[in-house]
Amino acid sequence: MDELSKNEALGDLYALYGSLLTSGQQEYFEDYYYDDLSLGEIADNHQVSRAAVYDNLKRSTKALEKYEAKLQLLTTFGQIEAGLENAEACLDDDDVAGTKQQLQTLLRLVRGE
């Protein structure tokens, strides 16, 4: 996974799980990934070492990945989005049976079946 894709994936995880991080982790994460500050700039702003910022970002990233591994919200939302797009395509084709099948699949997914 290239750096841009990784950052985009982390942004998606942060959008879902960011509120589960500590306020300090949220601040460092936003400074680094959203405000594009360097480790040195963040360290200066918070009067800590670059190593402390780096460690904090690593812990934050691992926490976000752990939340997704356990909860699977991002994965589930992606599946729901794909299912809705398929249902929409079936509607565009006047495929009532296909639409019904897609909606039933989505209901099972939402119910955890």
Q: Is the pLDDT of residue 1 over 80?
A: no
pLDDT tens digits for range 36-81:
999 999 999 999 999 999 999 999 999 999 999 999 999 999 999 9
Whole-prediction pTM: 0.81
Q: Quick one: pLDDT band at residue 17, thresholds 50, 70, 90?
A: very high
Q: Quick one: pLDDT band at residue 99, thresholds 50, 70, 90?
A: confident
Sign of the C-alpha dihedral, residues 54, 56, 62, 65?
A: negative
Q: Is the pLDDT of residue 14 over 90?
A: yes
Contact 32, 42 (CB under 8 A): yes
